């Protein structure tokens, strides 16, 4: 363990990065999943060089029951037992305790996560999370547009309401973890910034349905990502970071090696989140990924993350049109 910690210290200094006003010793963040749901896993992440951890999401439904239980205690005493049992089994208190324990036992930043599907009702609860010692709060948000009568603008307004409600009650940095299915991601980014959002995770990778043709049932499409999925993300990281707004970017999806992380940082990400690769290779793989980033930096002569962050984004790359290309026209010939 001592040797491991020494090794980590050796390359960590040059991997320091700033995210949400916090100094992280590595740009690698373990993203929200079951891998961040126990103290044991969190400690393992820290021991292997994670810069920060995002806790497994607490769900809005759980918070709503909790809020209801607390506020209705005196009004409906007969329901108290039932509700408190419900709340207990839905572990909202456990979640707050988990934040406290994580803060007590880890030295890296701890970022809880709330998974929500409405813009209000639950936001006051965010204060409890801040009070439990969270360094920042990540909101995992996606309002699935299923109403064909609703315009994109109406759907998007929900995101803005959510932020406005949240910013009224929490002072810690707020990060939005969004999907990439917006008509204009840069507009959303700008609007988030105007409303005081401190960081955006680009992007979540949602549960998607697949069809089992043997039993004609719905089943989950591939649960874990692969590195090819970076193709949906890189352009937007490069373009959003070029806006030069004071809003941090944490790139997520398809990071399966230190080299993958380097690409997102070159595109302008402040941090890079990892999940699937750790399911595949174990949490200890973080160490290898940090070494790969440090090795690449040595080979290229970069002494710090800041020296290369955004070097190949839409503003700094000398052929920015490459980021605007969406058709393969020019490349067809090599595939004939
Ligand atoms: C099994 C599993 C559980 C997840 N649970 C959550 C969650 O609770 N909250 C969340 O914001 N993201 C969750 N995610 C999404 C991941 O945090 C991550 O954004 C996504 O997997 C893309 O990153 P990757 O390509 O490194 O896997 C989960 C992903 C997986 C595979």
Determine the length of the chain: 336
CATH number at residue 240: 3.20.20.70
Residue carrying structure tokens 């009568």: 149
Contact 308, 265 (CB under 8 A): yes
Q: Is 177 a pocket residue for ligand 1 (Cβ < 6 Å)? A: yes
Q: Which residues of the chain have pLDDT under 70?
A: 1-11, 65-90, 329-336
Pocket of ligand 1 contains residue 255 by CB under 6 Å: yes
pLDDT of 336 reads 57
Cβ count within 10 A of residue 320: 14
Query: Measuring CA to CA, how many Å separate 195 from each of 160, 161, 174, 192, 240?
Result: 8, 10, 11, 5, 16
For a pocket test of ligand 1, which of 32, 179, 281 has the largest count of ligand atoms closer than 8 A to its C-beta? 32
The two three-digit tokens of residue 299, written as one number: 């080979």
Count the alpha carbons within 13 Å of 204 in the hemisphere toward its beta carbon: 23
Q: How far apart are CA 291 and CA 257, in angstroms?
A: 10
Question: Please, are residues 241 and 310 in contact by the beta-carbon 8 Å criterion?
Answer: yes
At 162-213, the pLDDT tens digits run: 999 999 999 999 999 999 989 999 999 999 999 999 999 999 999 899 999 9
Q: What is the pLDDT of residues 283-312, one digit of tens each?
A: 999 999 999 999 999 999 999 999 999 999
R_g (Cα) of the chain, nearest Å:
21
140 CA to middle of ligand 1, Å?
Answer: 10
**What does pTM read for this prediction?**
0.91
| Terminal Cα-to-Cα distance of the chain (whole angstroms) | 54
Burial per residue of 99-109, b for 16 or more beta-carbon CB atoms within 10 angstroms, e otherwise:
bebbeeebebb
> Are 165 and 127 within 8 A, CB to CB?
no
Q: Is the dihedral of CA 239, 181, 262, 136 positive or negative?
A: positive
Ligand 1 within 6 A of 56 CB? Answer: yes
Provide the pLDDT for residue 332.
Answer: 56
250, two tokens: 């944490």
Domain tally for the chain? Answer: 1
Is any atom of ligand 1 closer than 6 Å to the C-beta of 274? Answer: yes
Look at ligand 1, atom 8, and give the residue with the nearest C-alpha.
57
Q: What pLDDT score was predicted for residue 88?
A: 47
Instruction: Encode burial over 17-43: b for 16+ CB neighbours within 10 A, e otherwise.
Output: bebbebebbbbbbbbbbebbeeeebbe
Domain that holds residue 317: 2-335
Q: Which of 264, 120, 246, 116 is nearest to 189 (CA)?
A: 246
Is 205 close to ligand 1, i.e. is its CB under 6 Å away?
A: yes
Taking alpha carbons only, the member of 227, 274, 228, 285 closest to residue 251 is: 274
């Amino acid at each position: 363990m001592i040797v491991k910690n020494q090794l980590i210290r050796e390359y960590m200094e040059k991997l320091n990065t700033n995210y949400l006003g916090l100094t992280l010793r590595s740009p690698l963040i373990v993203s929200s999943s079951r891998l961040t749901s126990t103290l044991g896993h969190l400690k393992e992440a820290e021991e292997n060089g994670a810069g920060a951890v995002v806790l497994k999401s607490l769900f809005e439904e759980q918070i709503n029951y909790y809020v209801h239980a607390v506020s209705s205690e005196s009004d409906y005493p007969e329901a108290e037992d039932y509700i408190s049992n419900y709340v207990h089994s839905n572990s909202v208190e456990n979640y707050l305790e988990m934040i406290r324990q994580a803060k007590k036992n880890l030295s890296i930043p701890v970022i809880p996560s709330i998974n929500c599907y409405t813009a209000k009702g639950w936001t006051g609860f965010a204060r409890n999370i801040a009070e439990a010692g969270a360094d920042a709060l990540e909101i995992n948000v996606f309002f699935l547009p299923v109403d064909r009568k609703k315009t994109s603008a109406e759907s998007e307004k929900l995101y803005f309401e959510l932020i406005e409600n949240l910013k009224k009650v929490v002072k810690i940095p707020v990060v939005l973890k969004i999907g990439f299915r917006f008509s204009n991601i840069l507009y959303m980014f700008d609007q988030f910034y105007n409303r005081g959002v401190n960081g955006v995770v680009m992007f979540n990778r949602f549960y998607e349905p697949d069809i089992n043709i043997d039993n004609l049932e719905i089943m989950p499409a591939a649960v874990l990502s692969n590195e090819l999925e970076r193709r949906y993300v890189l352009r937007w990281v490069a373009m959003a970071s070029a806006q030069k707004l004071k809003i941090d970017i944490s790139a997520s999806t398809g990071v399966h090696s230190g080299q993958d992380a380097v690409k997102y940082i070159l595109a302008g990400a402040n941090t890079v989140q990892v999940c699937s690769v750790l399911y595949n290779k174990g949490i200890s793989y973080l160490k290898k990924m940090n070494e790969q980033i440090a090795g690449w930096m040595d080979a290229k002569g970069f002494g710090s993350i800041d020296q290369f962050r955004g070097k190949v984004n839409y503003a700094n790359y000398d052929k920015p049109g490459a980021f605007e290309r969406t058709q393969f026209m020019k490349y067809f010939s090599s595939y004939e």
